[in-house]
Structure 1
Amino acid sequence: MAEVLDELMRLWHNLHHKPLFGLLLTLCIYQLALMLYEYCNRRVILHPVATGSIAIALLLNALDIRYRDYLQSNQLLYFLLGPATVALAVPLHQQFHHIRKLLLPVLVTVVIGGVFAPAVAVGIAYLLGGSDAILLALTPKSVTTPIALGVADIIGALPGLTTGVVVFTGVVGALLSPAVFYLLNLHDPRLQGVVLGLNAHGVGTARGFEINPTVGAFASLTMGLTGAFTALTLPYALKLF
Structure 2
Amino acid sequence: MNHLFESETFALAATLGLFILFEAIYQKLKTPLLNPVLLTILCLIVVLKYSDVPYETYQKNTHMIHFMLGPSVVALGVLLYEQLHTIGKNAIAILSATFIGSVMGVVSVIIVAKLFGADYDLIVSMAPKSVTTPIAMGVSLQNGGIPSMTAVFVIIVGILGATVGPIVIEKVGIKKPIAKGLSMGTCAHGIGTAAAIQMGVLEGAISGLSIGLMGIFTALVTPALLELFF
Q: Which has the higher contact order (CA 8 A, sep 6+)?
A: 2
- Alignment correspondent of 2:44: 56
Greater Rg by CA: 1
Cα deviation, residue 139, structure 1: 2.0
1:179 to 147, 151, 167: 167
Q: Classify 1:131/1:33 alpha carbon distance in 2 versus 1 (closer, same or farther; 3 Å).
A: farther
Flag the 1:60–1:127 CA change in 2: closer, same or farther, 3 A: farther
Identity of aligned residues (%): 34
CA gap of 1:31–1:157, structure 2 versus 1, over 3 A, is farther
TM norm structure 1: 0.79
Aligned mates of 1:57, 1:237 — CA distance in 2:
36
**1:1-241 map, 5 Å:** 12-17=1-6, 23-40=12-29, 42-130=30-118, 134-152=122-140, 154-155=142-143, 157-234=145-222, 241=230
Give the aligned length: 229
Q: In structure 1, what residue type is equivalent to 2:172?
A: L
* Deviations, residues 194-237 of structure 1 (Å, cap 9, x unaligned): 11111121122122222121111211121221122223454676
Which amino acid in structure 2 is aligned with residue 140 of structure 1? Answer: P
Structure 1 spans left out of the alignment, 5+ residues: 1-11
**192-201 or 154-163, which deviates more:** 154-163
Summarize the Cα distance change of 1:93–1:113 in structure 2 as closer, same or farther, 3 Å threshold: same
Of 194-203 and 167-176, more deviation after overlay is shown by 167-176
Q: CA deviation at 1:73?
A: 4.2
The RMSD of aligned alpha carbons is: 2.9
C-alpha distance in structure 2 between counterparts of 1:133 and 1:103, whole Å: 36
Alignment CA distance shift 1:74-1:121 (3 Å)? farther
When residues 88 and 127 of structure 1 are mapped into structure 2, their CA distance, relative to the original with a 3 A threshold, is: same
Q: Which runs of 5+ in 2 are unaligned?
A: none
Cα distance in 1 for residues equivalent to 2:224 and 2:59: 29
Deviation (angstroms), 1:24: 4.8
Specify the SS of the correspondent of 1:135: helix
Is contact 1:206-1:216 (8 Å) kept? yes
| TM-score after normalising by structure 2 | 0.82
